[in-house]
Amino acid sequence: MIKLSKGTAVFLLLFLFYSSARSQEISLEYIFQDTNIVNPRPSLKFINPNSNKVYYYADDDYDGSLNLFDYDYVTKENYKYIDSALDASEYVIMPSGDALCVIKGEVYVSRDFATKRIFNKDVQLTETDKYEYSPQVIDNIAIYRRAGNYYLRVFDSAKAVTKELELTSDESDSIAYQPIAFTRKYSDFSGTLLRMLFARYNNASKKELIFPNFNDEFVKAEKQKRGYSTVNLLEYDIRWGSKDSLYKKVTEIKYPDSTRYSTSITSYSPDGFSILFDAETLDRHNRKLFIYDISSKQIKEIYSETDAAWYERHTYSTSFLNNEEILFESEVSGYNNLYRIRTDGTGFTKIAGGNYTILECETDNKNKKVYFSANIEEPYEYFIYETDLAGAEPKQITFERGDVKDLRLSGNGKYLFYLQSYLTKPDELHCLELDGYRSEQITNTASPKFSSVDWALPELITFRNEEDGQLIHAFVYKPQNFNPKKKYPLICFAHGSGYLQNVTYGFSPYRDNFMVNTFLTQQGFVILDIDFRGSMGYGKEFRNKTYHNLGYWEVSDYVSGVNHLKSLGYVNGEKVGIYGGSYGGFITLMSMFRRNDVFICGAALRAVSDWKNYYYANKWFTLGRLGDFALEEDKENYRISSPITYAEDLQGPLLLLHGMLDDNVFFQQSVQLNQKLIDLKKDFEIMYYPKEGHNFFRQSSWLDQYKRIWKFFAKNLKNP
């Protein structure tokens, strides 16, 4: 007799129950069940540098909630933590195995958490009538927040050693703080316990915007401030005072010129003598590296680069290799590559790169190794590669097809953890033993509701843009019983973000659209999904083509894709529709307004219709792409890039869908376009969702939205 574990038995029962989905047609009701059939994916949270344990979250019950696990990467033991009344709302596991945690709003140290695997109130650090949160720990120093401000306390194995030190005191609607770097290594700085760097944001100059909420008995008007803050960089020197007290000395660090920079990355040097700043101008045209010397309080620029369009970050890898050298990413070659430079500005050298995109990297400074993910062979597949700090030829060390992300190196440099996915396999946590490059999958938590379905797999195609000859990559989804002699109606899907890659062999960031593609192909549609101009993974020039003219080349790529499929004989050129959300909704509107000779209908979800409105919502996005709307010379960029400019050219059916609580692409965008179309006496359909924001949270809303989209395309593309 074979005895099954509880988890195995549950999986088999679910598998048998849902396996019929393989042979049945998939409905929208199945895809958008009350509980997501793509359950939350695993995430690695802590790596203990002094043991073989890593801690991660995973949903092994397929119920939408994440459970804590620890994994011993030597013994291969997995342990699942049991929920208890004492579970911390937030916690940090320390190298010692202790945990700094928040239990019922108070901060505690839970001793030997790694062995006991339960939260205990061993050392109480706070006892107030307010709630503490956001705990951080450096050795035996606890930092936490209360009512927006930051506090610090030193503890030992039995008690709080010091009185609480108030680090900030003026948190308000306009003032906010963010700790961005710490160090305890500063051998020549007598009396110092800790050095830390804060960014202080003054939001007083931001524009106040109103977001109405119509869902209660009376209309509420939430207010949010948008725009750029005034930022001060403050270096804190935390010192011992009397026996059990601490005090702080604060120094403001200012850049050497009057330019307003956005500081993306900062870190202390290994010896604690200097601070590295990686900063860019607000228009994202210029990026610089600065070194600040703590003892002399002097800052100097050591590197700069300029982009005619805008600078885009990928790896966020800027860091000290040692006290004299820095690792950083750059697109100066045309693709995102890795470089090093000395702290005096000399020795600029490429570590890894070519005509491919490096997305993430981890550095083993002790062994002088660099591990990175990149699409070296093909733009649609990412693997992990190994090189050294001398720039040796990269060696491929993972081979699972798809995508990899979230690279994390163990403290001993012998194991690399990462998430890997494939088209039909959502992200799972893997462990790569670097001595021999043996890879092991740690988690297997895809819901049977998802994995039991034969999802439609796309065919990868390439074609040339008809205007400039650029090679474009795309996915085509075909009906199961595809007949190349038949002419099918075509639906184009446009991904969002404007800078995102969806044509890869990894699990799609647009999981709902991936699943809906199976439903639509079962209804007799062909689906075209393009990595249009501006998408990630194809180099800087591919992105920069859209500069100051958003929407033109993206639509041109779709038109060329449609014509390519028409030339193959299986697409009905008189039955072409398009849809997408956010930036994809913007492309849908531009397609419907500017190329009504190609696209006969379109569904625009949470779409940008006027970029000047988005300028006030997200200047970071618009300044780099379109310039400053406050400047007269840049206003034309906004006009020619906004769909509302061309609304009078709408000919075919248009469906607008938008969440009324959207605080990214404001609901205002659809309202103003709605009125413009009314004034122009155009026919269109609308559906607004009173309780949803930019990303929907209710499965009922997702289901309603896609049922409307399906009926819209069925009516306009399938009927004679």
- The 10s digit of each residue's pLDDT in 135-180 is 999 999 999 999 999 999 999 988 888 899 999 999 888 899 999 9
**Closest among 142, 136, 107, 104 to 122, alpha carbons compared:** 107
Q: Which domain holds residue 488?
A: 454-718
Flag whether pLDDT at 132 surpasses 70.
Answer: yes
User: Band of the pLDDT at 24, cuts 50, 70, 90?
Assistant: low
Q: How many angstroms separate the CA atoms of 397 and 415, rounded?
A: 12
DSSP state of 112: T
Asked if the structure places residue 485 within a domain, the reply is yes
User: Band of the pLDDT at 705, cuts 50, 70, 90?
Assistant: very high
The CATH number of whichever domain residue 542 belongs to comes to 3.40.50.1820
The predicted pLDDT at position 269 comes to: 96
Beta-strand relationship, 337-342 and 325-330 = antiparallel
CB 384 within 8 A of CB 373: yes
Give the CA dihedral 477, 479, 480, 484, nearest 10 degrees: -100
DSSP state of 198: E
Taking the alpha carbons at both ends of the chain, their separation in whole angstroms is 61
Asked if the structure places residue 26 within a domain, the reply is no
pLDDT digits (tens, 9 = 90+) for 286-306: 999 999 999 999 999 999 999
Q: How many angstroms separate the CA atoms of 19 and 31, rounded?
A: 15
pLDDT digits (tens, 9 = 90+) for 504-515: 999 999 999 999
The predicted pLDDT at position 7 comes to: 43
Cα 13 to Cα 6, 444, 449: the distances in Å are 11, 16, 11
Q: To 10 degrees, what angle do helices 699-713 and 511-522 make?
A: 40
Asked if the structure places residue 521 within a domain, the reply is yes
The predicted pLDDT at position 86 comes to: 63
How many domains is the chain partitioned into structurally? 1
Asked if the structure places residue 593 within a domain, the reply is yes
Flag whether pLDDT at 2 surpasses 70.
Answer: no
Q: Which of 20-24, 599-603, 654-658, 678-682 has the lowest mean pLDDT?
A: 20-24
Asked if the structure places residue 688 within a domain, the reply is yes
Q: Which residue has the higher pLDDT, 88 or 636?
A: 636
Flag whether pLDDT at 8 surpasses 50.
Answer: no
Q: How many angstroms separate the CA atoms of 524 and 527, rounded?
A: 10
CB 118 within 8 A of CB 86: yes
pLDDT digits (tens, 9 = 90+) for 318-355: 999 999 999 999 999 999 999 999 999 999 999 999 99
Q: How many angstroms separate the CA atoms of 499 and 190, rounded?
A: 48
The predicted pLDDT at position 644 comes to: 98
Flag whether pLDDT at 3 surpasses 60.
Answer: no
Flag whether pLDDT at 598 surpasses 70.
Answer: yes
Q: How many angstroms separate the CA atoms of 242 and 240, rounded?
A: 7
| Average pLDDT over every residue of 103-125 | 94
The predicted pLDDT at position 226 comes to: 87
| Average pLDDT over every residue of 444-469 | 96
Asked if the structure places residue 663 within a domain, the reply is yes
| Average pLDDT over every residue of 682-702 | 94
Asked if the structure places residue 115 within a domain, the reply is no
SS (H, E, C) 562-612: HHHHHHHCCEEEEEEEEEEECHHHHHHHHHHHHCCCCCCEEEEECCCCCHH
Average pLDDT, the chain: 92
User: Band of the pLDDT at 84, cuts 50, 70, 90?
Assistant: low
Asked if the structure places residue 478 within a domain, the reply is yes
